[in-house]
Structure 1
């Protein structure tokens, strides 16, 4: 996919006699060579292209998308990097070796106690990130433990008034 910034940098080639590079970059070979041979239509075409470059890039990228669409439909492995969407449900059962080891080395009760100690040192309030730092567990594991405590009535949930971060508040601490 072409970028507008790159096209503008190539447009600057016209200042040193290389007019039309931006058109060649965007797949407009006929007019690109015309610009090269006529110094950007004697400078007028080159100046006019300052306004047209964003649309040129957009049209070129759309043409590329249409050209490669059948390939993407035939081969689902060939994904557009900018449009990758992971569905967490597919990966929920998977655990990295590091997370697996940390969960095995710490029981659920030990993790709960570590979360309580971390909350106590922070005036009874704890974010998920702080819980991860205190226990070494994954974000998902800490969030699961905190939600279980929330459902049991041991804590309340709110937001920090300054940052908006979700905080779990232990009323008993």
Structure 2
């Protein structure tokens, strides 16, 4: 995720006659190149961007979140999101003798009842697809809830019983 402070530092590139770096950083390639070759729209665009940078960073981060399939910053998953996830993985919950299921539960227990897919892969050595499918099956069976980490936005699976 992009940071507002970094965008402002790149904006300062105009002092070295390198305009538009903050726009390129935020994914605005065409206007970034326009700023570069027109000296920040002859300085006026560069000055106006001082006010627009926070919004540019927010827009860029929102696009990244959407591309990664994450919820917007601060949003909690709603029932529609959970239903969509469950509907795309209609496989039954594996039997308790499934070693991956037990490994994921132990990994979640060591992390306060919360586990991301990446953490599950690191703990078990299983593939991302296999870990995610198993976690989604646990959601479908009612053993876990899907949430997002409030700081990073990473999708986490929360086990209330742990």
Q: Normalised by the size of structure 2, how large is the TM-score?
A: 0.48
**Structure number having the greater helix percentage:** 1
Q: Normalised by the size of structure 1, how large is the TM-score?
A: 0.45
Higher relative contact order (CA 8 A, sep 6+): 2
